[in-house]
Protein backbone atom coordinates (compact mmCIF):
# COMPACT_ATOMS: atom_id res chain seq x y z
CA UNK A 1 0.00 0.00 0.00
CA UNK A 2 2.82 2.38 0.85
CA UNK A 3 4.43 1.79 -2.52
CA UNK A 4 1.16 2.48 -4.31
CA UNK A 5 0.71 5.83 -2.56
CA UNK A 6 4.28 6.82 -3.29
CA UNK A 7 3.83 5.96 -6.97
CA UNK A 8 0.61 7.99 -7.21
CA UNK A 9 2.27 11.00 -5.60
CA UNK A 10 5.12 10.77 -8.10
CA UNK A 11 2.65 10.68 -11.01
CA UNK A 12 0.81 13.71 -9.68
CA UNK A 13 4.08 15.59 -9.44
CA UNK A 14 4.86 14.85 -13.08
CA UNK A 15 1.38 15.96 -14.14
CA UNK A 16 1.70 19.24 -12.24
CA UNK A 17 5.13 19.92 -13.70
CA UNK A 18 3.84 19.30 -17.21
CA UNK A 19 0.93 21.69 -16.66
CA UNK A 20 3.24 24.43 -15.41
CA UNK A 21 5.64 23.93 -18.30
CA UNK A 22 2.85 24.24 -20.84
CA UNK A 23 2.10 27.77 -19.58
CA UNK A 24 5.59 29.03 -20.48
CA UNK A 25 5.54 31.02 -23.75
CA UNK A 26 8.20 30.43 -26.36
CA UNK A 27 8.80 34.18 -26.58
CA UNK A 28 8.17 35.68 -23.14
CA UNK A 29 6.92 39.22 -22.97
CA UNK A 30 9.89 41.56 -22.80
CA UNK A 31 11.89 39.77 -25.49
CA UNK A 32 11.95 43.13 -27.31
CA UNK A 33 12.75 41.85 -30.76
CA UNK A 34 13.26 44.34 -33.53
CA UNK A 35 11.42 43.86 -36.80
CA UNK A 36 12.58 42.79 -40.22
CA UNK A 37 11.85 46.34 -41.45
CA UNK A 38 11.38 49.79 -39.97
CA UNK A 39 12.97 51.75 -37.13
CA UNK A 40 12.63 51.08 -33.41
CA UNK A 41 12.28 53.99 -31.01
CA UNK A 42 15.31 54.40 -28.75
CA UNK A 43 14.05 57.26 -26.62
CA UNK A 44 13.49 54.57 -23.96
CA UNK A 45 15.52 51.42 -23.39
CA UNK A 46 13.80 48.16 -24.33
CA UNK A 47 13.34 47.37 -20.64
CA UNK A 48 11.69 50.74 -20.01
CA UNK A 49 9.38 50.36 -23.01
CA UNK A 50 8.31 46.90 -21.85
CA UNK A 51 7.79 48.12 -18.28
CA UNK A 52 5.46 50.83 -19.56
CA UNK A 53 3.59 48.30 -21.70
CA UNK A 54 3.22 46.02 -18.68
CA UNK A 55 1.77 48.88 -16.62
CA UNK A 56 -0.74 49.74 -19.32
CA UNK A 57 -1.62 46.06 -19.78
CA UNK A 58 -2.27 45.59 -16.07
CA UNK A 59 -4.60 48.61 -16.06
CA UNK A 60 -6.48 47.31 -19.09
CA UNK A 61 -6.79 43.77 -17.76
CA UNK A 62 -8.01 45.00 -14.36
CA UNK A 63 -10.64 47.31 -15.78
CA UNK A 64 -11.77 45.80 -19.09
CA UNK A 65 -11.94 42.04 -18.62
CA UNK A 66 -14.88 40.31 -16.97
CA UNK A 67 -15.01 36.68 -15.89
CA UNK A 68 -18.23 34.86 -16.72
CA UNK A 69 -17.17 31.79 -14.75
CA UNK A 70 -16.61 28.29 -16.12
CA UNK A 71 -13.35 29.30 -17.77
CA UNK A 72 -14.86 32.10 -19.87
CA UNK A 73 -13.88 35.80 -19.92
CA UNK A 74 -15.10 38.76 -21.98
CA UNK A 75 -13.19 41.92 -22.90
CA UNK A 76 -15.90 44.39 -21.88
CA UNK A 77 -16.44 47.85 -23.33
CA UNK A 78 -16.75 49.86 -20.11
CA UNK A 79 -15.60 49.95 -16.50
CA UNK A 80 -17.59 47.30 -14.62
CA UNK A 81 -19.29 46.72 -17.97
CA UNK A 82 -21.37 43.73 -18.95
CA UNK A 83 -21.22 43.89 -22.76
CA UNK A 84 -18.32 42.99 -25.02
CA UNK A 85 -17.78 43.75 -28.69
CA UNK A 86 -16.12 41.18 -30.93
CA UNK A 87 -13.70 44.02 -31.69
CA UNK A 88 -12.61 44.12 -28.04
CA UNK A 89 -12.53 40.33 -27.78
CA UNK A 90 -10.17 40.22 -30.75
CA UNK A 91 -7.95 42.90 -29.26
CA UNK A 92 -7.89 41.02 -25.97
CA UNK A 93 -6.89 37.73 -27.59
CA UNK A 94 -4.04 39.35 -29.49
CA UNK A 95 -2.83 41.26 -26.43
CA UNK A 96 -2.98 38.21 -24.14
CA UNK A 97 -1.04 36.08 -26.64
CA UNK A 98 1.77 38.63 -26.96
CA UNK A 99 1.85 39.20 -23.19
CA UNK A 100 2.26 35.44 -22.70
CA UNK A 101 -0.89 35.29 -20.55
CA UNK A 102 -2.15 31.82 -21.46
CA UNK A 103 -4.84 31.67 -18.78
CA UNK A 104 -6.46 34.88 -19.99
CA UNK A 105 -6.05 33.87 -23.63
CA UNK A 106 -7.83 30.55 -23.10
CA UNK A 107 -10.69 32.21 -21.23
CA UNK A 108 -11.10 34.92 -23.86
CA UNK A 109 -11.05 32.32 -26.62
CA UNK A 110 -13.82 30.39 -24.88
CA UNK A 111 -15.76 33.66 -24.71
CA UNK A 112 -15.33 33.99 -28.47
CA UNK A 113 -16.12 30.36 -29.32
CA UNK A 114 -19.24 30.26 -27.17
CA UNK A 115 -20.68 33.24 -29.07
CA UNK A 116 -20.17 32.25 -32.72
CA UNK A 117 -22.90 32.29 -35.33
CA UNK A 118 -23.57 29.69 -38.01
CA UNK A 119 -20.81 31.18 -40.21
CA UNK A 120 -18.24 30.49 -37.49
CA UNK A 121 -17.57 34.14 -36.59
CA UNK A 122 -18.37 35.91 -33.33
CA UNK A 123 -21.59 37.87 -32.84
CA UNK A 124 -20.53 41.48 -32.61
CA UNK A 125 -22.03 42.27 -29.18
CA UNK A 126 -22.38 39.74 -26.37
CA UNK A 127 -22.62 39.48 -22.59
CA UNK A 128 -22.09 36.69 -20.10
CA UNK A 129 -25.79 35.98 -20.59
CA UNK A 130 -25.53 35.48 -24.34
CA UNK A 131 -25.86 37.34 -27.64
CA UNK A 132 -26.85 41.03 -27.52
CA UNK A 133 -26.44 41.93 -31.22
CA UNK A 134 -26.13 39.33 -33.94
CA UNK A 135 -23.55 38.48 -36.60
CA UNK A 136 -19.93 39.28 -37.17
CA UNK A 137 -17.67 42.32 -37.42
CA UNK A 138 -14.62 41.47 -39.50
CA UNK A 139 -12.03 43.43 -37.52
CA UNK A 140 -12.67 41.44 -34.36
CA UNK A 141 -12.52 38.15 -36.24
CA UNK A 142 -9.22 39.11 -37.88
CA UNK A 143 -7.56 40.04 -34.58
CA UNK A 144 -8.85 36.85 -32.96
CA UNK A 145 -7.44 34.73 -35.79
CA UNK A 146 -4.09 36.48 -35.53
CA UNK A 147 -4.15 35.95 -31.78
CA UNK A 148 -4.58 32.22 -32.38
CA UNK A 149 -1.56 32.16 -34.69
CA UNK A 150 0.56 33.92 -32.06
CA UNK A 151 -0.74 31.56 -29.36
CA UNK A 152 0.11 28.59 -31.57
CA UNK A 153 3.72 29.82 -31.68
CA UNK A 154 3.80 30.72 -27.99
CA UNK A 155 2.47 27.35 -26.81
CA UNK A 156 3.08 24.90 -29.70
CA UNK A 157 1.06 21.71 -30.07
CA UNK A 158 -1.57 22.83 -27.57
CA UNK A 159 -4.71 20.71 -27.81
CA UNK A 160 -6.43 21.41 -24.48
CA UNK A 161 -8.45 23.27 -23.49
CA UNK A 162 -8.25 24.48 -27.10
CA UNK A 163 -6.43 23.35 -30.21
CA UNK A 164 -4.98 26.66 -31.37
CA UNK A 165 -3.82 25.41 -34.76
CA UNK A 166 -7.07 23.81 -35.88
CA UNK A 167 -9.15 26.60 -34.36
CA UNK A 168 -7.07 29.14 -36.31
CA UNK A 169 -7.59 27.22 -39.54
CA UNK A 170 -11.35 27.11 -38.98
CA UNK A 171 -11.63 30.83 -38.19
CA UNK A 172 -9.35 31.92 -41.05
CA UNK A 173 -11.43 29.83 -43.44
CA UNK A 174 -14.68 31.30 -42.08
CA UNK A 175 -13.33 34.83 -42.59
CA UNK A 176 -12.27 33.98 -46.14
CA UNK A 177 -15.60 32.39 -47.03
CA UNK A 178 -17.97 34.86 -45.37
CA UNK A 179 -16.22 38.21 -44.89
CA UNK A 180 -14.68 38.80 -48.32
CA UNK A 181 -16.22 39.28 -51.73
CA UNK A 182 -15.12 39.96 -55.31
CA UNK A 183 -15.78 43.33 -56.98
CA UNK A 184 -14.76 43.78 -60.62
CA UNK A 185 -12.02 41.21 -60.15
CA UNK A 186 -10.71 42.73 -56.91
CA UNK A 187 -10.85 40.91 -53.57
CA UNK A 188 -12.64 43.24 -51.15
CA UNK A 189 -13.06 42.80 -47.42
CA UNK A 190 -16.60 43.16 -46.09
CA UNK A 191 -17.10 44.82 -42.69
CA UNK A 192 -19.09 41.79 -41.51
CA UNK A 193 -20.33 38.40 -42.63
CA UNK A 194 -23.88 39.73 -43.16
CA UNK A 195 -23.00 43.31 -43.99
CA UNK A 196 -21.33 45.37 -46.71
CA UNK A 197 -19.29 44.42 -49.73
CA UNK A 198 -18.62 46.24 -52.99
CA UNK A 199 -20.59 49.30 -51.92
CA UNK A 200 -19.42 49.35 -48.31
CA UNK A 201 -16.02 48.59 -46.82
CA UNK A 202 -13.91 49.88 -43.93
CA UNK A 203 -10.21 50.51 -44.68
CA UNK A 204 -9.28 50.45 -40.98
CA UNK A 205 -10.19 46.76 -40.93
CA UNK A 206 -7.55 45.99 -43.58
CA UNK A 207 -5.09 43.98 -41.47
CA UNK A 208 -3.07 43.15 -44.57
CA UNK A 209 -0.07 41.99 -42.54
CA UNK A 210 -2.26 39.32 -40.98
CA UNK A 211 -3.47 38.16 -44.39
CA UNK A 212 0.05 37.12 -45.33
CA UNK A 213 0.37 35.23 -42.03
CA UNK A 214 -2.95 33.49 -42.67
CA UNK A 215 -1.55 32.23 -45.96
CA UNK A 216 1.49 30.87 -44.14
CA UNK A 217 -0.74 28.92 -41.75
CA UNK A 218 -3.30 27.69 -44.29
CA UNK A 219 -0.99 27.20 -47.24
CA UNK A 220 -3.79 26.09 -49.55
CA UNK A 221 -5.23 29.61 -49.21
CA UNK A 222 -1.94 31.49 -49.73
CA UNK A 223 -2.82 32.87 -53.17
CA UNK A 224 -6.17 34.16 -51.90
CA UNK A 225 -4.61 35.97 -48.96
CA UNK A 226 -1.78 37.45 -51.03
CA UNK A 227 -4.30 38.86 -53.49
CA UNK A 228 -6.52 40.14 -50.67
CA UNK A 229 -3.52 42.01 -49.25
CA UNK A 230 -2.46 43.63 -52.54
CA UNK A 231 -6.03 44.50 -53.52
CA UNK A 232 -6.76 45.91 -50.07
CA UNK A 233 -3.73 48.19 -50.17
CA UNK A 234 -4.64 49.33 -53.68
CA UNK A 235 -8.12 50.30 -52.50
CA UNK A 236 -6.72 52.09 -49.43
CA UNK A 237 -4.30 54.13 -51.53
CA UNK A 238 -7.13 55.13 -53.89
CA UNK A 239 -9.22 56.26 -50.93
CA UNK A 240 -6.58 58.47 -49.27
CA UNK A 241 -6.50 62.21 -49.70
CA UNK A 242 -3.57 62.96 -52.06
CA UNK A 243 -2.43 65.94 -49.97
CA UNK A 244 -2.68 64.54 -46.44
CA UNK A 245 -2.70 60.78 -46.86
CA UNK A 246 -5.71 60.62 -44.51
CA UNK A 247 -8.27 57.96 -45.37
CA UNK A 248 -12.02 57.92 -44.75
CA UNK A 249 -13.52 55.61 -42.17
CA UNK A 250 -15.87 54.06 -44.73
CA UNK A 251 -15.79 53.89 -48.50
CA UNK A 252 -16.79 51.70 -51.42
CA UNK A 253 -14.74 49.36 -53.59
CA UNK A 254 -13.74 52.20 -55.91
CA UNK A 255 -12.10 54.08 -53.03
CA UNK A 256 -14.63 56.90 -53.27
CA UNK A 257 -14.26 59.41 -50.46
CA UNK A 258 -17.32 61.44 -51.42
CA UNK A 259 -20.06 58.89 -50.93
CA UNK A 260 -18.54 56.68 -48.27
CA UNK A 261 -20.23 53.77 -49.96
CA UNK A 262 -23.79 52.71 -49.42
CA UNK A 263 -23.02 52.02 -45.75
CA UNK A 264 -25.80 52.14 -43.20
CA UNK A 265 -23.41 52.97 -40.37
CA UNK A 266 -23.22 55.51 -37.58
CA UNK A 267 -19.87 57.28 -37.36
CA UNK A 268 -18.42 56.93 -33.88
CA UNK A 269 -16.75 59.76 -32.00
CA UNK A 270 -18.03 62.62 -34.14
CA UNK A 271 -17.59 63.51 -37.78
CA UNK A 272 -19.04 61.58 -40.68
CA UNK A 273 -18.26 58.20 -42.20
CA UNK A 274 -16.13 59.91 -44.85
CA UNK A 275 -13.89 61.55 -42.21
CA UNK A 276 -10.73 60.28 -40.55
CA UNK A 277 -12.56 59.51 -37.32
CA UNK A 278 -12.45 56.78 -34.66
CA UNK A 279 -12.73 53.86 -37.08
CA UNK A 280 -10.04 55.28 -39.33
CA UNK A 281 -7.68 56.08 -36.44
CA UNK A 282 -6.45 52.48 -36.40
CA UNK A 283 -5.32 52.43 -40.02
CA UNK A 284 -1.65 53.41 -39.45
CA UNK A 285 -1.38 50.57 -36.91
CA UNK A 286 -2.84 48.05 -39.35
CA UNK A 287 -0.52 49.16 -42.12
CA UNK A 288 2.69 49.60 -40.12
CA UNK A 289 2.39 45.99 -38.96
CA UNK A 290 2.44 44.91 -42.61
CA UNK A 291 5.50 47.06 -43.24
CA UNK A 292 7.39 45.97 -40.11
CA UNK A 293 6.68 42.29 -40.75
CA UNK A 294 6.88 42.03 -44.53
CA UNK A 295 8.37 45.29 -45.88
CA UNK A 296 5.52 45.82 -48.36
CA UNK A 297 6.23 48.84 -50.64
CA UNK A 298 2.57 49.95 -50.83
CA UNK A 299 2.35 49.96 -47.03
CA UNK A 300 5.45 52.16 -46.91
CA UNK A 301 3.87 54.43 -49.51
CA UNK A 302 0.73 54.87 -47.39
CA UNK A 303 2.73 55.51 -44.22
CA UNK A 304 5.17 57.94 -45.85
CA UNK A 305 2.34 60.25 -46.90
CA UNK A 306 0.20 60.17 -43.78
CA UNK A 307 3.23 60.46 -41.47
CA UNK A 308 4.56 63.39 -43.49
CA UNK A 309 1.25 65.13 -42.84
CA UNK A 310 1.34 64.22 -39.13
CA UNK A 311 4.88 65.51 -38.79
CA UNK A 312 3.87 68.81 -40.35
CA UNK A 313 0.84 69.01 -38.07
CA UNK A 314 2.92 68.22 -34.99
CA UNK A 315 2.28 65.21 -32.78
CA UNK A 316 1.03 67.43 -29.94
CA UNK A 317 -1.66 68.78 -32.29
CA UNK A 318 -3.17 65.43 -33.27
CA UNK A 319 -6.79 65.52 -32.11
CA UNK A 320 -9.44 62.80 -32.12
CA UNK A 321 -10.59 63.24 -35.70
CA UNK A 322 -10.01 65.13 -38.94
CA UNK A 323 -11.60 65.61 -42.30
CA UNK A 324 -9.52 63.85 -44.92
CA UNK A 325 -8.23 67.28 -45.98
CA UNK A 326 -6.80 67.73 -42.47
CA UNK A 327 -9.26 70.03 -40.68
CA UNK A 328 -9.96 69.24 -37.03
CA UNK A 329 -13.35 67.73 -36.18
CA UNK A 330 -12.60 67.33 -32.45
CA UNK A 331 -11.00 69.41 -29.70
CA UNK A 332 -9.66 66.60 -27.51
CA UNK A 333 -6.95 63.97 -27.89
CA UNK A 334 -6.40 60.29 -27.19
CA UNK A 335 -4.05 57.42 -27.95
CA UNK A 336 -6.28 55.85 -30.60
CA UNK A 337 -5.09 58.64 -32.90
CA UNK A 338 -1.80 59.85 -31.40
CA UNK A 339 -0.45 56.38 -30.62
CA UNK A 340 -1.23 55.17 -34.13
CA UNK A 341 0.83 58.00 -35.61
CA UNK A 342 3.61 57.26 -33.11
CA UNK A 343 4.00 53.67 -34.30
CA UNK A 344 3.31 54.58 -37.92
CA UNK A 345 6.44 56.73 -37.69
CA UNK A 346 8.45 53.50 -37.41
CA UNK A 347 8.42 53.56 -41.22
CA UNK A 348 10.03 57.03 -41.36
CA UNK A 349 13.17 58.15 -39.51
CA UNK A 350 14.72 58.00 -36.04
CA UNK A 351 14.02 61.63 -35.16
CA UNK A 352 10.31 61.36 -35.93
CA UNK A 353 9.99 57.96 -34.25
CA UNK A 354 11.58 59.21 -31.02
CA UNK A 355 9.77 62.54 -31.00
CA UNK A 356 6.34 61.02 -31.61
CA UNK A 357 6.89 58.18 -29.11
CA UNK A 358 8.22 60.56 -26.44
CA UNK A 359 5.22 62.90 -26.64
CA UNK A 360 2.74 60.02 -26.77
CA UNK A 361 3.93 58.05 -23.74
CA UNK A 362 4.51 61.14 -21.61
CA UNK A 363 1.04 62.56 -22.25
CA UNK A 364 -1.20 59.49 -21.95
CA UNK A 365 -3.35 59.62 -18.83
CA UNK A 366 -6.37 57.88 -17.33
CA UNK A 367 -6.84 60.13 -14.31
CA UNK A 368 -7.55 63.71 -13.30
CA UNK A 369 -7.86 66.83 -15.40
CA UNK A 370 -6.77 65.78 -18.87
CA UNK A 371 -6.25 69.28 -20.24
CA UNK A 372 -4.14 69.12 -23.40
CA UNK A 373 -3.02 65.55 -22.70
CA UNK A 374 -4.48 62.30 -24.03
CA UNK A 375 -7.72 61.08 -22.46
CA UNK A 376 -7.05 57.35 -22.39
CA UNK A 377 -9.57 56.28 -19.78
CA UNK A 378 -12.32 55.00 -22.16
CA UNK A 379 -12.25 51.41 -23.41
CA UNK A 380 -11.40 52.03 -27.07
CA UNK A 381 -8.28 54.15 -26.70
CA UNK A 382 -7.20 52.40 -23.51
CA UNK A 383 -7.16 49.05 -25.26
CA UNK A 384 -5.44 50.39 -28.36
CA UNK A 385 -2.66 52.05 -26.36
CA UNK A 386 -1.69 48.60 -25.06
CA UNK A 387 -1.71 47.22 -28.61
CA UNK A 388 0.36 50.13 -29.91
CA UNK A 389 2.81 49.85 -27.00
CA UNK A 390 3.37 46.19 -27.86
CA UNK A 391 4.35 47.28 -31.37
CA UNK A 392 6.59 50.13 -30.21
CA UNK A 393 8.42 47.98 -27.65
CA UNK A 394 9.23 45.16 -30.08
CA UNK A 395 6.77 42.74 -28.51
CA UNK A 396 4.41 42.46 -31.51
CA UNK A 397 6.61 39.98 -33.35
CA UNK A 398 5.79 38.20 -36.59
CA UNK A 399 5.14 34.51 -35.84
CA UNK A 400 6.55 33.62 -39.27
CA UNK A 401 9.74 35.69 -39.14
CA UNK A 402 12.29 36.16 -36.38
CA UNK A 403 13.37 39.67 -37.38
CA UNK A 404 16.90 40.72 -36.50
CA UNK A 405 16.43 40.12 -32.78
CA UNK A 406 18.34 43.26 -31.81
CA UNK A 407 17.44 46.76 -30.75
CA UNK A 408 19.69 49.78 -31.21
CA UNK A 409 20.53 51.08 -27.72
CA UNK A 410 19.54 54.66 -26.95
CA UNK A 411 22.33 57.21 -27.27
CA UNK A 412 23.41 58.96 -24.10
CA UNK A 413 21.21 61.91 -23.24
CA UNK A 414 23.07 65.22 -23.11
CA UNK A 415 21.45 67.79 -20.83
CA UNK A 416 22.24 71.45 -21.45
CA UNK A 417 21.59 74.04 -18.73
CA UNK A 418 21.51 77.76 -19.46
CA UNK A 419 21.51 80.43 -16.73
CA UNK A 420 19.79 83.55 -18.00
CA UNK A 421 19.65 85.49 -14.72
CA UNK A 422 21.71 86.73 -12.93
CA UNK A 423 24.44 87.56 -15.39
CA UNK A 424 27.99 86.44 -14.74
CA UNK A 425 30.03 88.60 -12.35
CA UNK A 426 26.90 90.27 -10.95
CA UNK A 427 27.07 92.04 -7.58
CA UNK A 428 24.48 91.50 -4.83
CA UNK A 429 23.47 93.17 -1.59
CA UNK A 430 23.86 90.79 1.34
CA UNK A 431 20.45 89.65 2.61
CA UNK A 432 18.55 90.77 -0.50
CA UNK A 433 16.59 88.21 -2.59
CA UNK A 434 18.14 87.02 -5.83
CA UNK A 435 15.98 86.07 -8.82
CA UNK A 436 17.45 83.03 -10.56
CA UNK A 437 16.26 82.01 -14.03
CA UNK A 438 17.53 78.90 -15.77
CA UNK A 439 16.44 76.53 -18.52
CA UNK A 440 17.37 72.95 -19.32
CA UNK A 441 17.02 70.79 -22.42
CA UNK A 442 17.87 67.22 -23.39
CA UNK A 443 19.03 65.76 -26.69
CA UNK A 444 16.66 62.82 -26.10
CA UNK A 445 13.68 64.99 -25.25
CA UNK A 446 13.71 64.04 -21.56
CA UNK A 447 11.18 65.83 -19.37
CA UNK A 448 12.75 68.03 -16.66
CA UNK A 449 10.88 67.19 -13.45
CA UNK A 450 13.01 68.78 -10.73
CA UNK A 451 15.42 71.70 -10.44
CA UNK A 452 17.82 71.70 -7.47
CA UNK A 453 20.07 74.53 -6.27
CA UNK A 454 23.21 73.23 -4.60
CA UNK A 455 25.54 75.31 -2.43
CA UNK A 456 28.84 73.78 -1.32
CA UNK A 457 27.58 70.30 -2.19
CA UNK A 458 24.35 70.65 -0.20
CA UNK A 459 20.88 71.12 -1.75
CA UNK A 460 19.73 74.57 -0.69
CA UNK A 461 16.24 74.07 -2.17
CA UNK A 462 14.48 72.39 -5.07
CA UNK A 463 11.61 73.40 -7.32
CA UNK A 464 9.20 70.94 -8.94
CA UNK A 465 6.43 73.42 -9.73
CA UNK A 466 7.77 74.83 -12.98
CA UNK A 467 10.77 72.81 -14.10
CA distance linking residue 389 with residue 395, whole number of Å: 8
Q: What was the pLDDT predicted at 300?
A: 99
pTM, to two decimals: 0.83
Q: pLDDT-derived band of residue 457, with 50, 70 and 90 as boundaries? A: very low
Q: What was the pLDDT predicted at 405?
A: 35
Q: pLDDT-derived band of residue 445, with 50, 70 and 90 as boundaries? A: very low
User: Average of pLDDT values for 383-397?
Assistant: 99
**214-249 confidence digits (pLDDT tens):** 999 999 999 999 999 999 999 999 999 999 999 999
- Res 157 pLDDT > 50: yes
User: Average of pLDDT values for 270-299?
Assistant: 95
- Res 94 pLDDT > 60: yes
Q: pLDDT-derived band of residue 268, with 50, 70 and 90 as boundaries? A: low
- State which of 1-15, 337-351, 424-438 shows the largest mean pLDDT: 337-351
Q: What's the whole-number average pLDDT of the chain?
A: 88
CA distance linking residue 49 with residue 41, whole number of Å: 9
Asked if residue 394 lies in contact with residue 407, where contact means CB atoms within 8 angstroms, the answer is: yes
- Res 439 pLDDT > 80: no
User: Where is average pLDDT lowest: 110-119, 153-162, 179-188, 450-459?
Assistant: 450-459
Q: What CATH class has 36-392? A: mainly alpha
Q: What was the pLDDT predicted at 395?
A: 98
More confident residue, 449 or 346: 346
More confident residue, 259 or 186: 186
- Residue 177 CB-half CA count within 13 A: 10
User: Average of pLDDT values for 135-149?
Assistant: 98
More confident residue, 2 or 266: 266
Q: What was the pLDDT predicted at 1?
A: 36
Range list for CATH 1.50.10.10 in the chain:
36-392
Amino acid sequence: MFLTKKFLAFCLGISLGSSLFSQTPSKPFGSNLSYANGIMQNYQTPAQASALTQTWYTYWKTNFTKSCGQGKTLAVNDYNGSNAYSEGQGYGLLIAAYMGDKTLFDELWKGFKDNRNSDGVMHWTVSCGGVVAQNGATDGDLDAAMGLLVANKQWPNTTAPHNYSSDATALITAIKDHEFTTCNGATVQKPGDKFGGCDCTNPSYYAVGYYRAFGKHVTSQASFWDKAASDGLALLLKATNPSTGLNPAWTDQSGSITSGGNCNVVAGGGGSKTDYQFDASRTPWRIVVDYLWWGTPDSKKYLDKIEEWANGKGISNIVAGFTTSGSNIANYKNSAFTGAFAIGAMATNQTQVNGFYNWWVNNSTTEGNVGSRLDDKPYFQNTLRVMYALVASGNFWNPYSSGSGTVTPPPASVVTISLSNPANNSSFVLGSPVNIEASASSTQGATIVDVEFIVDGVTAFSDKTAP
